[in-house]
Amino acid sequence: MKYAVIIGDGMSDYRHEKLGNKTPLEIAKKPLMDMMAQKGVVGFTHNVPMDMVPESDTANLAVLGYDPKIYSKGRSPLEAVSMGIDMKQDETAFRINTVALSEGDVYEELTILDHSADEIPTEESRQLIETLEAEMGDEIRKYYTGVSYRHCLIWKDAPKTIDFTRPHDILGSVIGSYLPQGEDGKPYYEIMKKSWEILKNHPINIERKKRGLLPANSLWIWSPGKKPFLTSFEERFGLKGTVVSAVDLIKGIGLCAGLKVPDIEGATGNIHTNYEGKAQAAIDAFKNGDDFVYVHVEAPDECGHRAEIENKVLSVEYLDSRIVKPIYDYLVSTGEDFKVIFLPDHPTPLCKRTHSLDAVPFVVYTHGKDENSGALGYDEYFGHGVEGKVKVKFYSKGWDMMDDIVEK
């Protein structure tokens, strides 16, 4: 049996008046996913425990069968693993976004405009992070470039960590009350303010503004964590596998779980990612003998954060036509038994521009087996289904789902 798990990060949503009081999943044209919902097992899963923050590390760990309460150590250490950083036990990793703040002379009075600085390209971000490393880095603190706006700070014997604010939760807000506070927060606040003083007139940002783009004019520190450890996915489920993703967080989870993690040229983490390259990487993994492939697409999540309604719908359509279809077609051509599983890790509602804790809709499709689910399509309502006949499964603990999916 082959298993293809396909994640549309942040794909589920709430109904939106600009979509005729429908969700992006309801509006999107996705014939293959709809067919699989009709013939597969459908339901809802709570991937993030209700007393945890609905972040992509906790949610994707759960989908892969790892209890977040046991295994989640923060997203930044997982990203550090993907970036090839050999963390020591006395080091703490922090996610540092290059964010866009409004213009002004008083740091605390500025407004956060975008957590991604208009999805700044990696090469431009690299020059900013290299400048910060040269001016602020030392034997205690080191700054590492990730993908686009997502970077990493490694701090030896870090001060006491605090409850950091996630930048995508406060878009459009004045940052003063969300900056690290008090004596414990002072070391982090000082780094953030100093980064602004260095970056606000950086040549990269001057050039970006000339092109009508937001400047990446400050770091935002959040999500601290220590070196992670996961038990091997192959040991747990008896499957050799590969994780396909553009973002360091998901790649880090894969590496920690002992899964292969190829680099995909042109994979960006936004709607302009290399969909065909990701699908081909999944197909190549199956051709090379893997039983399990986990394909993660970040685009719906980024569209949700940026409140890009039309692009979120389009990202779902791309997932269906450019990821699910080629993988499905290949698996059919092999004549082998296979399952295709697709779901969001968490919702990223357009109206909130951040993650929510709601359960997400999933489909488990087993080729050649018609479950006659009663669903009419794949969305948060399963196309409303055949009245009274939609058979819905529910996982209150999302990490239990992988045990049910994998045939022992």
Q: Tell me which residue range forms the domain holding 213.
A: 91-225
CA atoms within 13 A on the CB side of 2: 23
Q: What was the pLDDT predicted at 407? A: 85
Beta-ladder partners of 111:
174
H-assigned helices in 104-199: 122-136, 182-199
Q: What was the pLDDT predicted at 386? A: 64
Which are the contacts of 227, defined by CB distance < 8 A and separation ≥ 6?
Answer: 73, 77, 87, 88, 89, 91, 93
Same domain, 261 and 317: yes
Domain boundary among 186, 205, 225: 225
Same domain, 238 and 382: yes
Domain boundary among 199, 225, 251: 225
Q: What was the pLDDT predicted at 269? A: 84
86 in any annotated domain = no
Q: What was the pLDDT predicted at 268? A: 86
10-residue mean pLDDT profile of the chain (408 residues): values are 97 96 97 97 95 91 95 86 90 96 97 96 96 97 95 96 93 97 96 98 97 98 89 96 94 95 91 95 98 97 94 98 98 98 97 94 97 94 79 96 92
42 in any annotated domain = yes
Which are the contacts of 280, defined by CB distance < 8 A and separation ≥ 6?
Answer: 326
Same domain, 185 and 248: no
Inter-helix orientation angle 182-199/122-136, to 10° = 120
Same domain, 266 and 376: yes
82 in any annotated domain = no
Same domain, 216 and 241: no
Q: Are 242 and 253 in contact (CB under 8 A)?
A: no
Q: Is beta strand 91-101 parallel, antiparallel or unpaired with respect to 218-225? A: antiparallel
Domain boundary among 196, 225, 254: 225
77 in any annotated domain = no
- The count of structural domains within the chain is 2
Residue pointed to by tokens 């990793």: 93
Q: What does the radius of gyration of the chain's CA atoms come to, in whole angstroms?
A: 21
Same domain, 258 and 147: no
Residues 241-261 as b or e (16 or more Cβ within 10 Å = b): bbbbbbbbbbbbbbbbbebbb
What's the CATH code of the domain at 342?
3.40.720.10
Q: Is beta strand 241-244 parallel, antiparallel or unpaired with respect to 218-225? A: unpaired
Same domain, 328 and 392: yes
Largest CA distance in the chain: 65
DSSP percent split of the chain into helix, strand, coil, nearest 5: 40, 20, 40
Same domain, 117 and 245: no
Same domain, 352 and 393: yes
Q: Residue 329: how many CB atoms within 10 A of its CB?
A: 12
Same domain, 234 and 343: yes
On the 0-12 / 13-18 / 19+ scale of CB atoms within 10 A, 86 is: exposed
Q: Are 24 and 306 in contact (CB under 8 A)?
A: no
80 in any annotated domain = no
Q: What was the pLDDT predicted at 74? A: 79
pTM of the model: 0.81
76 in any annotated domain = no
CA separation for the pair 383, 356 (Å, rounded): 22
Residue pointed to by tokens 């479950």: 371
Same domain, 201 and 245: no
Same domain, 193 and 265: no
298 in any annotated domain = yes
313 in any annotated domain = yes
Q: Are 29 and 366 in contact (CB under 8 A)?
A: no
